[in-house]
């Protein structure tokens, strides 16, 4: 089946580490203009493998019963007809590269990525099929991304935005670094995995470092980051053309002390896979 010419620009926004209930607690007003916020599940609990799935065209999934996985995938890929304002897109459209940016570039899109987390740097395999791919100078400045976005009238554009404000230390751009929360082994945005702990079980001997008050404070910082980003998304809405379809989601969740866990990565817990999901065109 041939694919009809796309009519929409497409923007995929990934709030790194943002768990579903943090998003809901923030009660974002502007983002909800896209549609209903869904509770979905990430395919992975860490940034890089999750983005690999997203860039295959696999969005965070619901968990339907009595459904063959192949039928669910078929429906998930077919959704790109609505996102792109096209027709004829199905799983075979992604074969053999299984790459959303490659597919879009073949359909005449300019493809761009701006990422916040160093594990997605341009030297990684994630950088496939993009015309431009940048690791941003600051890990927590979505507004800088929005101000660089351009939408030429002669062809559609695709943007992937990996947003770091919702990632530890949940810091906003105007917050001095010396005011960020500091947790030994975790502080900072890891440039070298050898130098930082991504996530895991909290040891009893270190329990004082992760008392309930501190963990509650960290979760509140993530909620506050979502509230802040709602204002940045409003600027994005003002910038994009009317024929722009936008997806907002997260690559994975985060643990704030539940059952002794903090962070994300090598953790088996529903809160590290539970993510928000909403999408649509502005009404």
Residue ranges per structural domain of the chain: 9-281
End-to-end CA distance of the chain: 31
12-69 pLDDT, tens digit per residue, is 999 999 999 999 999 999 999 999 999 999 999 999 999 999 999 999 999 988 988 8
- Output 94-97 pairs: Cβ under 8 A, ≥24 positions apart: 94/56, 94/57, 97/128, 97/129
Residue 280: the pLDDT is 97
Residue 34: the pLDDT is 97
Residue 194 pLDDT > 70:
no
Residue 204: the pLDDT is 45
- CATH assignment of 9-281, given 2.60.40, 3.40.720, 3.90.1570, 3.40.390? 3.40.720
Beta strands in the chain (DSSP E): 9-15, 38-41, 110-115, 132-135, 157-163, 199-201, 244-249, 255-256, 261-263, 274-281
Residue 195 pLDDT > 60:
no
232-278 pLDDT, tens digit per residue, is 999 999 999 999 999 999 999 999 988 888 889 888 899 999 999 99
Residue 167: the pLDDT is 96
Percent of the chain residues topping a pLDDT of 90: 71
| Cα 246-40-20 angle, rounded to 5 deg | 85
Asked if 78 and 90 touch (Cβ cutoff 8 Å), the reply is yes
Going by pLDDT thresholds of 50, 70 and 90, the confidence category of residue 3 is: confident
pTM of this structure: 0.91
> How many CB atoms lie under 10 A from the CB of residue 195?
10
Residue 209: the pLDDT is 55
Residue 205: the pLDDT is 46
Asked if 51 and 13 touch (Cβ cutoff 8 Å), the reply is no
Residue 111: the pLDDT is 98
116-158 pLDDT, tens digit per residue, is 999 999 999 999 999 999 999 999 999 999 999 999 999 999 9
Mean pLDDT of all residues belonging to the chain? 89
Residue range 210-223: average pLDDT? Answer: 91
157-181 pLDDT, tens digit per residue, is 999 999 999 999 999 999 999 889 8
């Amino acid at each position: 089946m041939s694919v009809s010419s796309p009519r929409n620009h497409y923007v995929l926004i990934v709030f790194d580490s943002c768990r579903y209930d943090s998003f809901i607690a923030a009660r974002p007003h502007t983002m909800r203009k896209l549609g209903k916020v869904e509770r979905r599940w990430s395919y992975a609990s860490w940034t890089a493998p999750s983005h690999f799935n997203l860039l295959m065209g696999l969005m965070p999934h619901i968990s339907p019963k009595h459904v063959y996985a192949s039928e669910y995938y078929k429906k998930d890929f077919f959704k790109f007809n609505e996102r792109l304002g096209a027709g004829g897109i199905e799983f075979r459209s992604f074969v053999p590269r299984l790459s959303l940016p490659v597919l879009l570039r073949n359909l005449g899109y300019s493809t761009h990525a701006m990422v916040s987390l160093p594990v997605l740097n341009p030297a990684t395999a994630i950088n496939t099929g993009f015309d431009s791919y940048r690791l941003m100078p600051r890990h927590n400045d979505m507004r800088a991304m929005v101000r660089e976005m351009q939408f030429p009238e002669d062809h559609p554009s695709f943007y992937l935005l990996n947003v770091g404000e919702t990632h530890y230390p949940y810091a906003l751009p105007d917050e001095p670094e010396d005011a960020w929360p500091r947790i030994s082994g975790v502080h900072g945005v890891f440039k070298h995995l050898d130098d930082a702990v991504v996530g895991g079980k909290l040891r009893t001997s270190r329990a004082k470092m992760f008392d309930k008050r501190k963990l509650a404070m960290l979760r509140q910082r993530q909620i506050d980051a979502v509230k802040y980003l709602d204002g940045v998304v409003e600027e994005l809405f003002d910038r994009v053309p009317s024929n722009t379809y936008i997806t907002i989601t997260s690559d994975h969740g985060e643990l704030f002390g539940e059952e002794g866990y903090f962070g994300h990565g090598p953790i088996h817990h529903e809160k590290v896979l539970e993510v928000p999901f909403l999408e649509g065109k502005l009404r």
